[in-house]
Homo-oligomer: A and B are copies of this chain.
Amino acid sequence: MGRRLVVVGGDAGGMAAATSARRHDPDLDIVALERGRWTSYSACGIPYLVGGEVKRLDDLVIRTPKDLRDSYGIDVRMRCEAMAIDLDTGKLEVRNHELSRTFTLGFDLVHLGTGARPLRPPLPGIDLPFVGGVQTLDDAGQLLRHLTSPPPWAPDGIERVVVVGAGYIGLEMAEAFVRRGASVTVLTDRSEVMPSLDPDMGAHVTKVMRGLGITVHCGTKVTGFEPGSVRAGGTSFPADLVVLGLGVAPNAELAEEAGLTLGAAGAIRVDRRQRTSNEIAWAAGDCCASRHLVSGREVYVALGTVTNKQARVAGANLGGGYATFAGVLGTAVTKVCDLEIGRTGLTEVEAADAGFSAVAATIESTTTAGYLKEAAGTIHVKVVAERGTGRLLGAQIVGRGPGAAKRIDVVATALTAGMSCGEVAELDLGYAPPFSPVWDPVAIAARKAASLATG
């Protein structure tokens, strides 16, 4: 028997590392602990399950415990939670919730993929059952049960949904319930929805959401919950169901108690190989911090793509290979009904925070040639550039029509390459009338930013 790797966490941050380690080392003894009932699932798919586009909870499971055992030789222990890690002796204390007993597991290497948990501020009534989260498949199951067994104050079914928070999850859940025909209210204490955008870009989203029939209250602080209603901004909003989308916090307590160094947002600090401050302990995903490719700062970005990349890197290293994680740009796309949103790199606000003297150019264009009037959607692109050099720092997109949000990938690629806005403006991008105006909106915005930055 080879050395033993214990992986803590059965979702992507853990299991993608475990399978990657297996590909690198067929002899590694890999034990994986999952405290819940599911492995390797797409939490990002939950809004589409609730919205009815995904039919069954199981469809979101990418690899079952059986797959992981049979195809990867990983000893997956379900309902088993790591309670404490002793890195000096190489021992884990594990609680088997199924059998209600605790046991000790020795290891040579340990990998933490403990993920994150939704923020639940200590407000009166937040633990009422009609206030749901969107983090695990169990959360998803609970939301689905609410739909089929509505609370007593909604005998005819879930008709009024209040979404608290207006980030990715908030918007996607708003769409999900719009699809289900519910009346949706979104509450946020920010000045606009989508706090990962600059407020001027968020304002476009707020406006379109209202146009879609979603009630949006910005600058409205939630103060508590009562059965059937949400108190916020001095008034009361009727709610058959409440969905919390207030962001997440890393599950880093186990690491901290084991003596590992934490970093940004209290997440586990790792080096570029995904190793923690202890050489036998590694980590990946929503429990750990990352380096931002533009600011150079340590940041906390909890996104599925980042998790998968980090876990693959950690696994390669755990399996005796060599791999590094390049860092993050915070690239993200989302949509609410037909409105698409993308962002990458630094916003204007973030650029200033990071010490850049930045300029920003915003343009309005269309996603197709303007004369294809039925297909053409309006697209707003904001490009942030360093004053003087014209260096590209980031971009934000809000728009409708073909490929609106995924245009952000051009900016992500250019940021990785360290391009200037002038270079982005001249890129040989694909054009045909159903896909773009002859000058792609990203190129138009980059040209304007280049001119502002250096002109």
Interface residues of A (CB under 8 A from B): 12, 42, 44-45, 48, 53-54, 59-60, 168, 172, 293, 303-306, 308-309, 325-335, 342, 344, 369, 371-372, 374-375, 402-403, 405-410, 412-414, 416-417, 419, 423-424, 426-436, 438-440
B412 touches A429 (CB 8 A): yes
A453–chain B nearest beta-carbon distance, Å: 17
A-B contact pairs, 28 of them (CB 8 A): A42-B369, A44-B432, A53-B374, A54-B371, A54-B372, A59-B371, A168-B432, A293-B428, A304-B438, A308-B439, A309-B428, A325-B426, A326-B426, A331-B428, A334-B432, A342-B430, A344-B428, A344-B430, A402-B403, A402-B406, A409-B409, A412-B428, A413-B414, A413-B417, A413-B419, A413-B429, A416-B423, A416-B428
Contacts of A413 in B (CB 8 A): 410, 413-414, 417, 419, 424, 427, 429
Contacts of A434 in B (CB 8 A): 48, 335
Contacts of A402 in B (CB 8 A): 402-403, 406
Roughly how many angstroms separate A335 CA and B430 CA in the complex, as a whole number? 12
Which of B334, B344, B433 contacts A45, CB < 8 Å?
B433
A409 touches B438 (CB 8 A): no
Q: A413-B413, A416-B423 known; A429 and B42 CB under 8 Å?
A: no
A416 touches B427 (CB 8 A): yes
Closest to A418 in B: B417
A333 touches B431 (CB 8 A): yes
A305 touches B438 (CB 8 A): yes
B406 touches A53 (CB 8 A): no
Number of copies: 2
Roughly how many angstroms separate A419 CA and B53 CA in the complex, as a whole number? 37
Roughly how many angstroms separate A412 CA and B414 CA in the complex, as a whole number? 10
Closest to A293 in B: B428
Contacts of A305 in B (CB 8 A): 428-429, 431, 438-439
Closest to A416 in B: B427
Q: A44-B432, A304-B431, A305-B431 known; A409 and B440 CB under 8 Å?
A: yes
A429 touches B331 (CB 8 A): yes
Contacts of A369 in B (CB 8 A): 42, 44-45, 48
Contacts of A308 in B (CB 8 A): 438-439
Closest to A328 in B: B428
Roughly how many angstroms separate A414 CA and B411 CA in the complex, as a whole number? 11
Roughly how many angstroms separate A326 CA and B422 CA in the complex, as a whole number? 11
Closest to A323 in B: B426
Contacts of A45 in B (CB 8 A): 369, 371-372, 433
Q: A417-B417, A419-B417 known; A306 and B428 CB under 8 Å?
A: yes
